[in-house]
Each structure stands twice: as structure tokens, then as C-alpha cells.
Amino acid sequence: MGNFLGIFRILYILALLTQLLIFYIITDNKNKIDNKPQNVKIIYKRLDEIKASAFQKLGFKVNIDYPYKLCDFKPAYGFLFPEIIKDYDFWTQSDLDIIVSWLEKKSK
């Protein structure tokens, strides 16, 4: 949520190199992304929309007052965002720092 970080450039490089994968980014940032790879999909959702949807689907009040708290719900992403994964047999989630670490190891 919020501004795109410089680390997003690394994600785009990875997306360009890995055309077999499709990357979904959920964000409230509506800034245009120049030269976005076709396998990077941006889904615009505000934090309050995600919080309301989680409450509705999980049946209890969730503590997502700050974007970084979304990581607490990673095990439930498939349940919380079924519209994203419905057409796939396999899916996973990751953090940008994990991608960066992987790229660093591959570059050595």
C-alpha cells in the first residue's frame, strides 16, 4: 500500500526474465507504471476495502490498521483473494526482500 518502492524495479526485472510466472500486486497506488511487464498485474484496493472483505470472509474483526499488518494474513491470501487465484492450479506469495535475496545469490 502507498508509494511504489525502488525495489519494485527489481520485481519488474524478475518478471521480464520469468515470463512463465504472473505477478499480482495489490496496492492503493494508482500512479501509472511505465513499461510494466505484461505478466505483472496491478489490483487496486484500499486498505479499508481489504479490511472489510477480510472481516466479511473470516467472520471476525481483523487488525489491519497499517499495510505492513497484511503479512499477518499471508496464510489466508487464497481465501481472502480467490478472484486472483481462481484460474490457476498453483500459486504462491512472496516478499520483495526474498526476491532480492534470490537475485543476489543468482548474480554471484
Give the pLDDT band (50/70/90) at residue 27: confident
Q: Say whether 43 sits in a helix, a strand or coil.
A: strand
Q: Which residue has the cell 503479512?
A: 71
Alpha-carbon gap, residue 27 to 2, rounded angstroms: 7
- Structural domain spans, the chain: 8-107
Question: What's the rounded mean pLDDT across residues 22-50?
Answer: 87
Give the pLDDT band (50/70/90) at residue 31: confident
Which amino acid does the sequence have at 101? S
Q: Dihedrals φ, ψ of 66, to 5°?
A: -135, 145
pLDDT at 53: 93
